[in-house]
Homo-oligomer: A and B are copies of this chain.
Amino acid sequence: MKQSDRDRSVRLLWAPPAEPTRGPKAALSQSRVVGAAMEVADAEGVDALTMRRVAEALGSTAMALYRHVPGKSELLDLMVDAAWGETERTPPGPWREGLEFFARQMWAMYRAHPWMLQLTTSRVMPGPHAMTRRDAAYAAVSQLGLRPEEIVAVVTAVAHHVDGVGRAMADRVRTERETGVSEEDWWTGREALWEHFTPDRLPMMTHIWNTGGFERPLDEFEFGLARLLDGLAVFLESGERPVVRRETCQ
């Protein structure tokens, strides 16, 4: 059952079904359902993304969606891959420009569709768009004489950075929508919290707070990306590279 579910998702993502010749003309279609679902999620967040809500956006009923999409989890898979489809493939070029391009494309995608980072980490049936984008990112570091597992590790490190920053960003967006209050106003209004910020318990926090360090934060995406690329440069341009095999996590 789980097995067949997964295979169904694969087929759906990589080989969308041909449209039938018989029967009434469909008012809906898979791409319309996916598009409507993305609009709902963009505007109202993933919590509002119910089958009934998507159907409403299409002027239809919940069960009609099941003619075009096997279920909600497959719909999410399709939405994710559609979002990847909106990104551009990393063009050939120097490694640093390529990785930066890839990171910026992911970042733009997450900014446009923050719900992607709210999908728990569960949903990750890779679709063709996600795969081609990643393939192009691998290509960006393919001319450096790296071993294949190093190519994967380098691109993965960049992707993880964007994931991590995106997660925090998505949280800000969601909180602001839910509360209707801007991030900054909300935190300053949380007096029940600030009472506990005493120098003896949180010396650095209170110091940074008092000197305004929280009020003018650096750009997390840009800062972290620049550091990571600097660090990758050290690795890529050094003579002998250290090998780090996976031992953790199995």
A102 CB-CB contact with B under 8 Å: no
1/0 per residue, CB under 8 A from B, across A5-22: the answer is 011001100110000000
A2 CB-CB contact with B under 8 Å: yes
Contact in complex: B230, A10 (CB < 8 Å) = no
CA distance A3 to B186 in the complex (A): 10
Partner of A246, one of B134, B204, B219: B219
Given contacts A160-B161, A211-B148, A218-B153, contact A171 B230 (CB under 8 A): no
Contact in complex: B204, A131 (CB < 8 Å) = no
CA distance A246 to B221 in the complex (A): 9
Which of A26-34, A53-61, A172-180 faces chain B? A172-180
A201 CB-CB contact with B under 8 Å: yes
Instruction: Give chain B residues whose Cβ lies under 8 Å from the Cβ of A244.
Output: 218-219, 222-223, 226
A220 CB-CB contact with B under 8 Å: yes
Contact in complex: B168, A160 (CB < 8 Å) = yes
Nearest B residue to A247 by beta-carbon distance?
B219
CA distance A126 to B214 in the complex (A): 15
A63 CB-CB contact with B under 8 Å: no
Given contacts A118-B122, A231-B231, 11 further A-B contacts (CB under 8 A): A14-B192, A14-B196, A122-B174, A134-B205, A153-B224, A157-B224, A160-B168, A182-B250, A218-B245, A227-B234, A228-B228
